[in-house]
Amino acid sequence: MKILVTGAKGFVGKNLVAELKNRGYNDILEINRESDFSLLEKFTKECDFVFHLAGVNRPKDENEFMEGNFGFTSHLLELLKKHDNKAPVLITSSIQAEKDNPYGNSKKAGEDLLFSYSKDNNVKVYVYRLLNLFGKWSKPNYNTVVATYCHNIARGFDIKINNPNADLNLCYIDDVLEEFLRALEGKPTVQDNYCIVPVTYQIKLGELANVIASFKESRSNLSIPHMEDALIKKLYSTYLSFLPEDQFSYELKMNCDQRGSFTEFIRTPERGQVSVNVSKPGVTKGNHWHHTKNEKFLVVSGEGLIRFRKIGSDEIIEYRVSGEKLQVVDIPTGYTHSIVNVGESELVTVMWANECFDPEKPDTYFVEV
C-alpha cells in the first residue's frame, strides 16, 4: 500500500510517518516544503491513500493562508482527478474553520473543496478539525502553548500567561495517530459529518503552567507526576522531549558515611519512596522496626544477609540475597530487621518504602535483631 503524506516534516507529519513505519507501512510517499513538486505529479498517480497534512498557519502575509491551505489542496485534488486516482483523502483542518478570520476562512475553503471533490468523484474523504495539539517534535512559539511552556520552563525562561482562567481543549499527538490509523482502515470516528479524535482534554491555562512547572521541580523534590491522570502522563512525556540535550541527567543527594551511602531516588505521596542503599563489606544497616511503614528490598549487586526478629520473640529469620539472583524481600511491620554485607564487594540494594520519610513521624524504632 502506497501512502502519500503531505507536510511530512511537520509536527503531525513527522509523528505520522514514524508510526506508519512502526506499523509496517514502508511504502510512504513524502512531500514537504523542500520537495521537488514534480514528485507530487508522480505520487498522486501511484498512491492508495492520502494524508494531506500540509498547510500554513503562521505566514508573513495573510494572503498566504488561502494560497497554502486552499490553493495547495486544490492542486492536489486536481492531480488526483487527472490520474483518475480515487484514493481516500484525509485532511487536517482546524477548529478555527468555524470562525471568520483569514486562517479560519482558508481552512473552511479547503474543507468545502474536499467535500465537493468527494461528491463529484465518489471518493472517500475524512476531514478532521483538530484541537490544540501537543506532543513530542512540536515547535515552541509555533504549534501550541504546551510546546512553548515546556521549552521555556525546561530552560528557566519566563512564560506569558494572559488569562490563567482561560480553558484550553487539548489533543495529544498519539491519540491523533490512533484515529488516523482507524481512518486508514476505513473506520474513522465520525460526528456531525466531520471526523473527530475521540480523546480530548480540558485544562485551564494557569493550571497548565503550574503542572509543567512541577515537572521541572520534580528533579529537586524527587516527585513523580500522577501517572494515573492521562493528561498529566502525556504532558510529562511531552515535557521530557523538550529537555535541553545537555540536561538529560540530574544529580541526587548521596548521604555518605564510613558504612557506605543512602540516596533517595523517587518520592510519591501515594506510592511511597524508592532509595538506593550502598553498604561496604562487613557493614550492618538497619536494626529497627516499624508500626505501619513497610518496605521491599532488592539486592542488585553484591551478597547480603537480611535478618528478622519479631518484636517479643527470640527467633531470628535469615534470608541470603545476591545480585546474581534478583529477588524481592518484603519487610513486614512488627519485625526488627537488618541487612549485612557478607560479600567482598559493595552491597547495592534498591529499597522501596510505602511512605516517604517524614522526620516528624519516622515510625522507626531502633532494636537489635
pLDDT at 57 over 70: no
Whether residue 342 is contained in a domain is answered as yes
Give the range with max mean pLDDT: 31-45, 180-194, 280-294.
Answer: 280-294
Structure-model confidence comparison of residues 111 and 2, the more confident one: 2
pLDDT at 128 over 50: yes
- Cα 232 from Cα 220, distance rounded (Å): 19
Portion of the chain with pLDDT greater than 90, in percent: 82
**37 near 76, Cβ under 8 Å?**
no
Q: Are residues 301 and 167 in the same domain?
A: no
The rounded mean pLDDT for the chain is 92
pLDDT at 274 over 80: yes
Q: Are residues 80 and 199 in the same domain?
A: yes
The three-class DSSP label of residue 352 is: strand
The CATH number of the domain holding residue 340 is: 2.60.120.10
Question: In this predicted structure, what is the pLDDT of residue 6?
Answer: 94
Whether residue 122 is contained in a domain is answered as yes
Q: Report the domain count for the chain.
A: 2
pLDDT at 94 over 90: no
The question of whether 319 is a catalytic residue gets the answer: no
Question: In this predicted structure, what is the pLDDT of residue 105?
Answer: 72
List of residues 6+ apart from 37 with CB closer than 8 A = 31
Q: Residue range 133-149: average pLDDT?
A: 93
Give Cα 321 distance to the centre of its chain.
Answer: 36
Q: Are residues 144 and 52 in the same domain?
A: yes
Q: Kindly indicate the confidence band of residue 53, based on its pLDDT and cuts at 50, 70 and 90.
A: very high
* pLDDT tens per residue, range 231-244: 999 999 999 999 99
Structure-model confidence comparison of residues 108 and 175, the more confident one: 175
User: Which residue of the set 25, 103, 236, 335 is catalytic?
Assistant: 103
The CATH number of the domain holding residue 203 is: 3.40.50.720
Which of 241, 262, 292 terminates a domain? The answer is 241
- Cα 136 from Cα 25, distance rounded (Å): 21
* pLDDT tens per residue, range 295-310: 999 999 999 999 999 9
**Containing domain of residue 208, as a range?**
3-241
Question: In this predicted structure, what is the pLDDT of residue 66?
Answer: 47
pLDDT at 2 over 90: yes
Note the pTM of the prediction, 2 decimals.
0.90
List of residues 6+ apart from 152 with CB closer than 8 A = 140, 158, 159
Question: In this predicted structure, what is the pLDDT of residue 239?
Answer: 98
DSSP 38-60: HHHHHHHHH-SEEEE----SS-S
Q: Are residues 205 and 303 in the same domain?
A: no
Burial level of 238, CB count in 10 A (0-12/13-18/19+)?
Answer: buried
pLDDT at 211 over 70: yes
Q: Are residues 258 and 171 in the same domain?
A: no
Whether residue 189 is contained in a domain is answered as yes
Which of 241, 269, 302 terminates a domain? The answer is 241
Q: Are residues 60 and 195 in the same domain?
A: yes
- Select from 319, 341, 343 the least CA-distant residue to 332: 319
Q: Residue range 115-129: average pLDDT?
A: 93
Structure-model confidence comparison of residues 253 and 110, the more confident one: 253
Structure-model confidence comparison of residues 111 and 307, the more confident one: 307
pLDDT at 345 over 80: yes
Which of 241, 269, 296 terminates a domain? The answer is 241
* pLDDT tens per residue, range 60-88: 545 544 454 557 888 899 999 999 999 99
Whether residue 308 is contained in a domain is answered as yes
pLDDT at 58 over 60: no
